């Protein structure tokens, strides 16, 4: 394990179960140096796997951190927010404008992928939210079709297709994936077929 990973692990372990230390990590997302922000975002992403409930009070800080210049802080915070959707979707909803900017980030594939995952997770929770995020997802599908991270985006889109989507979103989504379901190759075709099937 790299030195940086060790450091992140230690940060997360020290904050585990300690609301004060978790709040301090949240604060670092706003005031820390670039390196400190990245470390804090990584530690919070790690904590989200073991104790997501304890991070719910940080949702606003995580959303604010999506405006930081460095890609890693943004993608780690988006991954954390995706986990927190299950615990407080209403507040995570406020991240849509920042997630949209991240989805169309020209510099970073991991940021785009994390934004797609977050928007899919959020959009799958209610029909209303599905309608709010679908135009962004639809544009993302068209923009990144064939890109390196598109296969991973498809995994998130398969999950979205299993969510509580409105009838209009289901119809539009099925139409968008129909071509790949019929003419795609390999994994792309299989996932597209699975999506169309889920929406049927």
pLDDT, tens digit (0-9, with 9 covering 90-100), for 41-89: 999 999 999 999 999 999 999 999 999 999 999 999 999 999 999 999 9
Last-in-domain residue among 94, 116, 135: 94
Contacts 24+ apart (CB under 8 A), 194-199: 194/158, 194/161, 195/154, 195/157, 195/158, 195/161, 198/158, 198/161, 198/162, 199/161, 199/165, 199/170, 199/171, 199/173, 199/174
Is 2 a residue whose pLDDT tops 90?
Answer: no
State the total domains in the chain.
2
Is 149 a residue whose pLDDT tops 70?
Answer: yes
Q: What percent of the chain has pLDDT over 70?
A: 100
Q: Are residues 191 and 142 in the same domain?
A: yes
Residue 30 domain boundaries = 1-94
Q: How far apart are CA 28 and CA 76, in angstroms?
A: 14
Radius of gyration in angstroms for the set of CA atoms belonging to the chain, rounded to a whole number: 17
Average pLDDT score over the chain? 96
* Per-position DSSP letters for 63-112, written without gaps between them: HHGGGSSSHHHHHHHHHHHHHHHHHHHHHHGGGHHHHHHHHT-SS-HHHH
State the burial class of residue 49 (Cβ atoms within 10 Å of its Cβ: 0-12, 13-18, 19+).
exposed
**Per-residue pLDDT averaged across 119-130, rounded?**
98
Distance of CA 83 to the CA centre of its chain: 8
Q: Are residues 84 and 160 in the same domain?
A: no
Q: Are residues 87 and 11 in the same domain?
A: yes
| pLDDT at site 90 | 97
With respect to residue 171, please indicate whether it lies within any of the assigned structural domains. Answer: yes
Would you place residue 92 in the very low, low, confident or very high pLDDT band (cuts 50, 70, 90)?
A: very high
**Per-residue pLDDT averaged across 25-34, rounded?**
96
Could you tell me the maximum CA-CA distance found in the chain, to the nearest angstrom? 54
| pLDDT at site 1 | 61
**Per-residue pLDDT averaged across 149-171, rounded?**
97
pTM: 0.96
């Amino acid at each position: 394990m790299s030195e940086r990973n060790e450091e992140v692990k230690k940060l997360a372990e020290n904050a585990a179960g300690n609301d004060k230390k978790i709040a301090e990590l949240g604060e670092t997302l706003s005031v820390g140096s670039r390196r400190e922000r990245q470390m804090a975002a990584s530690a919070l992403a790690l904590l989200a796997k073991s104790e997501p409930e304890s991070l719910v009070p940080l949702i606003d800080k995580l959303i604010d951190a999506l405006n930081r210049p460095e890609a890693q802080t943004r993608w780690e915070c988006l991954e954390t927010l995706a986990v927190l959707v299950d615990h407080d979707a209403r507040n995570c909803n406020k991240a849509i404008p920042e997630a949209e900017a991240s989805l169309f980030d020209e510099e970073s594939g991991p940021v785009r992928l994390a934004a797609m995952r977050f928007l899919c997770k959020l959009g799958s929770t209610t029909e209303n939210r599905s309608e709010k995020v679908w135009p962004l997802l639809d544009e993302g599908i068209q923009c990144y079709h064939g890109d390196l991270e598109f296969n991973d985006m498809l995994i998130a889109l398969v999950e979205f297709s299993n969510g509580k989507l409105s009838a209009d979103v289901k119809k539009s989504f099925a139409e968008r994936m129909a071509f790949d379901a019929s003419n795609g190759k390999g994994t792309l075709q299989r996932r597209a077929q699975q999506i169309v099937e889920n929406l049927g």
